[in-house]
């Protein structure tokens, strides 16, 4: 199913209409866009008869957020029957999508050697979520009989419920494993951390500092009046001189402000994701549910106004260059790669210049970086 829209090549009517819809929206020809939207939905899309039409429905739904149309209501009504709680969808993704679980495993395998056997370590996670990766990291160190005796965990997270759960999970794991822990929580995002916050992350006892951020830094806006914000955040990371910083990020260009460019990148990335889902061994209902997990991302990338967009992914090479500009040397643990190489038969773990790619059909879907 992997099929990137290319306006320079002959295509079927639904592809042409979807491209025309993007062009009309970009040119602010709303009346024309509404006509194209309604024709596309009415005459060319029937996901119940043709499952491959679901990706068109999802992309058309995202673009339709820019318009008021009866077709928009029809699409939303169709997709609504597949709604599920986001936490249930995330658990499903964690089970079936090795690009998520594999990235976390690779990150932990790069962090663990810097923590192994230490008397005390400071660990900063920007966008900690519910702390699942930290619990797995502690379990990994336990298996290696290399748990540190004391840890300071600094958790930065904008969602309060997740932050609360992360603190609970980390305290429970450390108590069970016999690690003395001090958990500091900051209910905020990285770009709103103050100079005093950043300075407070620096260990004062000479113990190593480890920094981790998974699927979070692409939320930094860094456009318009906030241009350069990402570079400033990375400058702060470099100034802390951590023993290591590990990042996991999707590999695509959804940072671009031009809708046609962003649409092409979005289609390229998520058509690979949807194709992967179609090929895994699970039920048809679960495959649809997995795709629905990504609907909100696609809607944000294509449907929201530029100033309100949240999902601003960048290419892996951009993140690698940003780490290097902040003073980090990029390293790859090939032994760690081997440990996750057989995580899933459809996923390839590939050494690229400056990062490890979790690849599918020659395309890196998620990149893992380690800077020292």
Per-residue model confidence as pLDDT tens digits over 4-52:
454 444 457 888 999 999 999 999 999 999 999 988 988 888 777 777 8
Maximum CA extent, the chain? 68
Q: Judge if 71 and 172 occupy the same domain.
A: no
Question: According to the model, what pLDDT value does residue 225 have?
Answer: 59
Residue of 218, 244, 24, 4 lying closest to 118 (CA atoms): 244
Question: According to the model, what pLDDT value does residue 13 have?
Answer: 85
- pLDDT of residue 222 exceeding 90, the answer is no
Q: Judge if 217 and 332 occupy the same domain.
A: yes
Give the pLDDT band of residue 79 (cuts 50, 70, 90): low
Residue 8 lies in a domain: no
Q: Judge if 248 and 265 occupy the same domain.
A: no
pLDDT tens profile 264-320: 999 999 999 999 999 998 888 888 888 888 888 999 999 988 888 889 999 999 999
Question: According to the model, what pLDDT value does residue 283 have?
Answer: 87
pLDDT tens profile 105-143: 999 999 999 999 999 999 999 999 999 999 999 999 999
Residue 3 lies in a domain: no
Question: According to the model, what pLDDT value does residue 241 have?
Answer: 96
Question: According to the model, what pLDDT value does residue 10 have?
Answer: 44
Q: Which domain holds residue 39?
A: 13-83+257-305
User: Which residue among 265, 283, 305 closes a domain?
Assistant: 305
Question: According to the model, what pLDDT value does residue 6 have?
Answer: 47
What is the DSSP annotation of 205-250? SS--EEEEEES-GGG---SGGGTTHHHHHHHHHHHT--SEEEEEEE
- In angstroms, the CA 67 to CA 133 distance is 40
pLDDT tens profile 182-193: 999 999 999 999
User: Which residue among 289, 305, 321 closes a domain?
Assistant: 305
User: Which residue among 287, 305, 323 closes a domain?
Assistant: 305
Residue 116 lies in a domain: yes
- In angstroms, the CA 163 to CA 167 distance is 6
Question: According to the model, what pLDDT value does residue 366 have?
Answer: 97
Residue 194 lies in a domain: yes
The structure's pTM equals: 0.90
- Termini Cα distance of the chain: 39
Residue 2 lies in a domain: no
Q: Judge if 231 and 357 occupy the same domain.
A: yes
Question: According to the model, what pLDDT value does residue 83 have?
Answer: 63
Percent of the chain with pLDDT over 70: 89
Average pLDDT over residues 64-83: 64
Question: According to the model, what pLDDT value does residue 71 have?
Answer: 58
Q: Judge if 131 and 176 occupy the same domain.
A: yes
Q: Which residues contact 74 (CB under 8 A, 6 or more apart)?
A: 41
Please give the tally of structural domains in the chain.
Answer: 2
Q: Judge if 226 and 268 occupy the same domain.
A: no
Q: Judge if 61 and 141 occupy the same domain.
A: no
Q: Average pLDDT, whole number, for the chain?
A: 89
- Six token digits for residue 325: 């500009």
Residue 245 lies in a domain: yes
Q: Judge if 333 and 354 occupy the same domain.
A: yes
Residue 1 lies in a domain: no
Do 254 and 301 form a contact (C-beta atoms < 8 A)? Answer: yes
146: domain CATH number?
3.40.50.150
Do 152 and 182 form a contact (C-beta atoms < 8 A)? Answer: yes
- pLDDT of residue 232 exceeding 80, the answer is yes
Question: According to the model, what pLDDT value does residue 7 have?
Answer: 42
Q: Judge if 73 and 187 occupy the same domain.
A: no
Judged by average pLDDT, the poorest of 74-88, 117-131, 170-184, 332-346 is 74-88
- Six token digits for residue 192: 């709103």
Percent of the chain with pLDDT over 90: 70
The pairing of strands 150-156 and 120-126 is parallel
Judged by average pLDDT, the poorest of 3-7, 114-118, 227-231, 259-263 is 3-7
Residue 4 lies in a domain: no
Average pLDDT over residues 77-100: 68
Q: Judge if 297 and 273 occupy the same domain.
A: yes
Q: Judge if 123 and 201 occupy the same domain.
A: yes
Question: According to the model, what pLDDT value does residue 93 have?
Answer: 80
Average pLDDT over residues 184-206: 95
Q: Judge if 278 and 326 occupy the same domain.
A: no
């Amino acid at each position: 199913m992997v099929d990137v829209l290319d306006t320079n090549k002959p295509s079927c009517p639904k592809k042409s209409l979807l491209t025309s819809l993007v062009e009309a929206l970009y040119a602010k020809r709303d009346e024309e866009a509404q006509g194209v939207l309604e024709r596309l939905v009415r005459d060319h899309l029937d996901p119940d008869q043709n499952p491959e039409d679901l990706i068109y429905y999802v992309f058309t739904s995202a673009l339709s957020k820019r318009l008021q149309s009866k077709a928009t209501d029809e699409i939303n009504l169709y997709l609504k029957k597949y709604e599920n709680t986001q936490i249930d969808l995330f658990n499903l993704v964690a089970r079936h999508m090795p690009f998520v679980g594999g990235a976390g495993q690779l990150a932990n395998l790069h962090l663990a050697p810097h923590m192994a056997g230490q008397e005390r370590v400071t660990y900063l996670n920007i966008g900690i979520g519910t702390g699942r990766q930290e619990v797995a990291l502690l379990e990994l160190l336990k298996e290696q009989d290399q748990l540190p005796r004391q840890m300071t965990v600094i958790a930065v997270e904008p969602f309060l419920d997740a932050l609360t759960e992360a603190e609970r999970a980390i305290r429970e794991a450390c108590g069970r494993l016999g690690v003395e822990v001090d958990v500091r929580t900051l209910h905020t995002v990285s770009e709103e951390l103050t100079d005093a916050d950043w300075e407070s992350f620096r260990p004062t006892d000479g113990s190593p500092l480890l920094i981790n951020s998974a699927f979070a830094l692409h939320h930094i806006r860094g456009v318009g009046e906030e241009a350069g914000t990402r570079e400033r955040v990375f400058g702060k990371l470099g100034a802390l001189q951590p023993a290591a910083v590990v990042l996991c990020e999707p590999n695509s260009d959804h940072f671009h402000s031009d809708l046609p460019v962003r649409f092409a990148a979005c289609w390229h990335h998520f058509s690979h994701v949807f194709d992967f889902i179609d090929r895994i061994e699970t039920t048809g209902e679960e495959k649809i549910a997995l795709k629905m997990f990504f609907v909100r991302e696609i809607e944000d990338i294509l449907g929201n106004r530029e100033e309100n967009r949240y999902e601003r992914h960048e290419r892996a090479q951009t993140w690698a260059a940003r780490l290097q500009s902040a003073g980090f040397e990029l390293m790859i643990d090939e032994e760690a790669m081997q440990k996750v190489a057989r995580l899933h038969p459809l996923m390839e773990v590939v050494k690229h210049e400056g990062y490890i790619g979790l690849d599918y059909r020659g395309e890196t879907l998620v990149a893992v970086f380690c800077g020292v």
